[in-house]
């Protein structure tokens, strides 16, 4: 299977994301992104919600990224949730992670994440692909980090370092002396 390199091929005719593109942990991240969008009173899933989903259900690599960043992931999640909470005007219900309920920026982020996966020889996404794409597509999340002194390039470097560390920990040779 080839990875779609455009938004039109990411989604099925019913609007759902193609399940074959979703590696371990990604469905939970996207489901959590939908929940975060609803909780913060948005009518569509935006890039901060993807980031919040990654923070709320982190895999080992995202946890390692938090460690190398010296960040408390639950506290970071709380800060982003508060930063992106909209007014209390009616709650929105989003019918899952599907094309009508995701922003164009999220679609660009998915394409970038799939390109990253392909560059690593994978046909499906892992959470780290999403995390790196949050920073390489220059999202509002990136701008928030830049305001406190972390460039997008540095965040990507830390993500790649964390991914390498978790890969070493999970490889069979990692336990050999």
In this predicted structure, what is the pLDDT of residue 95? Answer: 78
Q: What is the pLDDT along the chain (177 residues), one digit of tens a residue?
A: 344 456 668 999 888 999 999 999 999 999 999 999 999 999 999 999 999 999 999 999 999 999 999 999 999 999 999 999 987 766 677 878 999 899 999 999 999 999 999 999 999 999 999 999 999 998 999 999 999 999 999 999 999 999 988 776 544 443 343
How is the chain split into domains, by residue range? 7-170
Contact yes or no for 18/12 (Cβ under 8 A): yes
pLDDT at site 177: 38
pLDDT in the model for residue 171 = 40
Instruction: Report residue 117 CA to chain centroid gap.
Output: 13
CATH number of 7-170: 1.10.1780.10
pLDDT of residue 31: 96
Q: In the prediction, which pLDDT does 173 show?
A: 43
| Alpha-carbon distance values, 107 to 11, 45, 88, 111 (Å) | 10, 10, 27, 6
Structure tokens at 44: 């569509």
Give residue 96's pLDDT. 86
């Amino acid at each position: 299977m080839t990875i779609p390199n455009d938004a039109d091929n990411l989604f099925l005719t019913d609007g759902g994301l193609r399940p074959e593109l979703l590696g371990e942990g990604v469905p939970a991240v996207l489901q959590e992104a939908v929940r975060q969008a609803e909780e913060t009173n948005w009518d569509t899933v935006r890039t901060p919600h993807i980031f919040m989903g990654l923070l709320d259900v982190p895999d080992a690599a995202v946890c390692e990224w938090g460690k190398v960043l010296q960040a408390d992931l639950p506290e970071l999640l709380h800060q982003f949730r508060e930063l992106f909470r909209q007014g209390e005007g009616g709650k929105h219900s989003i019918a899952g992670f599907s094309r009508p309920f995701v922003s164009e920026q999220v679609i660009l982020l998915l394409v970038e994440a799939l390109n990253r996966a392909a560059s690593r020889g994978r046909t499906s996404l892992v959470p780290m692909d999403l995390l790196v794409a949050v920073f390489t597509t220059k999202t509002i999340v990136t701008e928030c980090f830049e305001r406190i002194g972390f460039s997008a390039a540095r965040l990507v470097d830390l993500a790649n370092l964390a991914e390498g560390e978790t890969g070493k920990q999970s490889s069979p040779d990692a336990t050999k002396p």
